[in-house]
Amino acid sequence: MQLFVNDLTVMDFSYLCPKRGMVGESWIVDVILNGDLNEESMVLDFGKVKKQLKYLIDEYIDHKLLVPVEHEFSRVQQNEKTDRVKVDFMRPDNKSIHLNCPAEAYAFVYSDEVTMPSVGDYLKDVIATHLPENVAGIELNLRAEVINTPYYHYTHGLKKHDGNCQRIAHGHRSKVVIFENQIESIKWQEYWAKRWCDIYIGSTEDIVEPNQTAFQLEQGNFEQHHVFAYEASQGRFELAIPKSESEMLDTDTTVECLAQFMADEHKRLSPDEDFRVLAYEGVGKGAIAFA
């Protein structure tokens, strides 16, 4: 017997890619449980599926940075005394990425790349230890939202957030809808899809000097990087990322601030026109701004 739940949850996270850098992503999760009927004539109560499995997926993937541990660029050092983990992703041509964060900010995928199959295997191993005896196995279908208009991948961190959004490197795959004088503009949507393709969006107030972090380079310096650090309720977060793969804002990087930033940019570029921006944060949620 099989039990299925579609749209169980949406995982918003980022991952390290040797070609694309730090990639914000949003994947929808469908689940199938294989097993015998229990004493209630169920494989597993839908309420428990939605509560327990969603909790596990959120706990191990959502709002984390996924690191492909077996890739040759990945260097991971854990401090067992402080439960902090330093990650150096040594991409060439001054495009290395460096993090020093609490361990809970990461998910370590034992593969040379982060893909839907490798993440699915990682999750199945986690979930399998929490299933009741009558459930023999689990199948996960990870999929991206079908978006027929332009979209972008972005990563950010929200230090003022009480929850997991405070983690400095988590992200989203997001569509954007722009109205110019009440008419939808594919041109402007494509503009943002190109400008914010695999981008890290940081706040200027979080910029620090490299010597204020734990980062060191064997050769060269951090002149080609933005270096960020901040204290949040889960601990101290540090990140160095190429300037060429970043966008800086003078505000926080909540979706509300991103929407207003985009609207103000349009007004700056076309001062005689009126704009309405629907900026999504992952799947099915976002903010609307006007200029």
User: Burial code of 98-127, b = ≥16 C-beta within 10 A, e = fewer?
Assistant: bbbbbeebbbbbebeebeeebbbebbeeeb
- pLDDT for position 39: 54
**pLDDT per position in the chain (291 positions), as tens?**
777 889 989 999 999 999 999 999 999 999 887 766 665 655 555 566 667 788 888 999 999 999 999 999 999 999 988 989 999 999 999 999 999 999 999 999 999 999 999 999 999 988 888 776 666 678 899 999 999 999 999 999 999 999 999 999 999 999 999 999 999 999 999 999 999 999 999 999 999 999 999 998 877 789 999 999 999 999 999 999 999 999 999 999 999 999 999 999 999 999 999 999 999 999 999 999 999
Q: pTM for the complete prediction?
A: 0.94
- pLDDT for position 60: 92
Sequence-ordered alpha helix ranges (H) in the chain = 46-48, 54-60, 116-128, 186-195, 255-269
Superfamily of domain 2-173+201-249: 6-pyruvoyl tetrahydropterin synthase/QueD (3.30.479.10)
In 3D space, the residue among 204, 205, 201, 190 whose CA is nearest the CA of residue 258 turns out to be 201
Report the first-to-last Cα separation within the chain, whole angstroms.
Answer: 55
- pLDDT for position 3: 73
